[in-house]
Structure 1
Amino acid sequence: MAEQNTKQAGPVMDESNNGNEAFFLKYKTAIIGCFVALVLIIAGGMWFKSYKAEQNEKASTAMAKAQDNFMNGNYELALNGDSTGVAGFLKIASEYGSTDAGNLANLYAGLCYANLGQWENAAQSIEKFDYSDDQMVSPAALGALGNVYANLNQLDKAVSTLTKAAEKADNSSLSPTFLIQAGQILEKQEKKADALKLYQQIKEKYFNSVIVQQNKIDEYIERVSE
């Protein structure tokens, strides 16, 4: 059901923007994939660095249950909890906002909203996430936010956020993905010269990335160079 809701939701555009609309509908699977990848990064790399504070420990316990619901695709339950006392991300963020877990709950809440196609709420929740200086979770969160802006048809904001995510990550795993996403949005805006700069940046700076090693970046460069 969550998948069905997500497919039905999307940016509202007029007839003059049919090209952009087709792009986002086609690209939505990749966008949701970015969300899933973000969650896996969080689960494997971040989780909660400190269990010293009692509040953080309580929040962490609640987060574990909410995350299970999220990973099982129960986005409504993960977001809002239930009447049996299982807390959702919204409640965790509200009650434990000063903890690492509460901060992370904002991000998860945004991902739930995104998977439900509620893009305005998704943006508001992810914007509440307090970004740190790490090179994985924070860039991935920015990348997710950039994709949310794209679905809201805030294209300039999407490009800016995605390029910021790439800069913050500064690695061959995440940066090329965000730059490609930003470049594709620029292409749909008929800003081929700007897209070309991003594609060339990938080739020159992230030459160890898969997209460069497999020579796929050349296809992007060739397309915007015509």
Structure 2
Amino acid sequence: MANNNGQATFDAAFKSQEFFDKNKKILLGAIIAVVVIVAGYFCYSAFIGGPREEKASTALARGQEYFNAEQFDKALNGDGAGYTGFVKIADDYSSTDAGNLAKLYAGLSYAYLGKWSDAVKYLEDYSPKGDAMVSPAAIEALGNAYAHVGQIDKAVSKLQEAADKADDKAEDGANNSLSPIFRLQAGELLESQGKKADALKVYQDIKKKYVNSQLVQSNEIDKYIERASN
């Protein structure tokens, strides 16, 4: 019952479909932006990681194509024509980098399909790396998945962690594109719990730290500050 109540709160606060539709575009954009880099990495690792890594990365490549084409069922479960799916790749090659990335893609695919418990499972199993884009986006995705299954405290924590990770890789310690969005989501979740003071602090921190972000330059963040102040 507690999970149901948490989900109802989340839905009411965010008009959840509209909220996720907006954020999934950001998330997908972050993933697509590094697909070429990721593919290049696996081409390299194929020469130094041995036959197992090479086989796993080759299997993953077809799934990435289905994912980018938003054919999520095929991406997850295979196409019956030689590609076995992210789920099987993640299971069969769990010890490889490609198998780890398959967990991320599986989690994201389940999220797009609205299968949030499955999304949580695979996103929790994914091990973030030290990159500036994919790992923060993956942590943010887990935060959103937690929110959709009513685990709001975990969601807030992961969204803040995602922002921190993005900031760690920024030259000036402030990623003005990703981090303000992640923190804004955290603030909105705090508001949905009635924690207006905590939400207000998040919004004020956004305005202070991310001065070059669109949220601040457009004065959009001021609306959130005003709302949380009342």
- Report the TM range for the smaller structure's normalisation: 0.7 to 0.9
Name the counterpart of 1:20.
10
Name the counterpart of 2:107.
110
Offset, 1:45: 4.0
| 1:173-184 aligned within 5 A | 173-184=177-188
Cα deviation 1:128-172 (Å, max 9, x = unaligned): 111112222111100000000011111111001101111111111
Offset, 1:84: 2.1
More displaced stretch, 168-177 vs 53-62: 53-62
TM-score of the two chains, using structure 2 as the length reference: 0.86
How many residues are aligned here? 215
Which of 86, 101, 125 matches 1:89?
86
Name the CA distance, whole Å, in 2 between partners of 1:18 and 1:123: 18
Which of 190, 197, 200 matches 1:196?
200
- Identity across matched positions, percent: 49
| 1:1-226 aligned within 5 A | 13-14=4-5, 18-22=8-12, 23=14, 24-47=16-39, 49=41, 50-52=45-47, 53=49, 54-170=51-167, 171-226=175-230
Instruction: Report the CA distance shift for 1:103/1:17 in structure 2 as closer, same or farther (over 3 A).
Output: closer
Gaps of 5+ in 2: 168-174
8 Å CA contact 2:156–2:189 kept in 1: the answer is yes
Q: Aligned-residue CA RMSD in angstroms?
A: 2.0
Instruction: Report the CA distance shift for 1:66/1:163 in structure 2 as closer, same or farther (over 3 A).
Output: same
Name the CA distance, whole Å, in 1 between partners of 2:199 and 2:36: 33
Name the aligned partner's letter for residue 188 of structure 1. Answer: S
Name the CA distance, whole Å, in 2 between partners of 1:194 and 1:96: 42
Gaps of 5+ in 1: 1-10
Offset, 1:112: 1.0
Instruction: Report the CA distance shift for 1:194/1:46 in structure 2 as closer, same or farther (over 3 A).
Output: farther
Name the aligned partner's letter for residue 37 of structure 1. Answer: G
Look up the SS of the partner of 1:159 in the other structure: helix
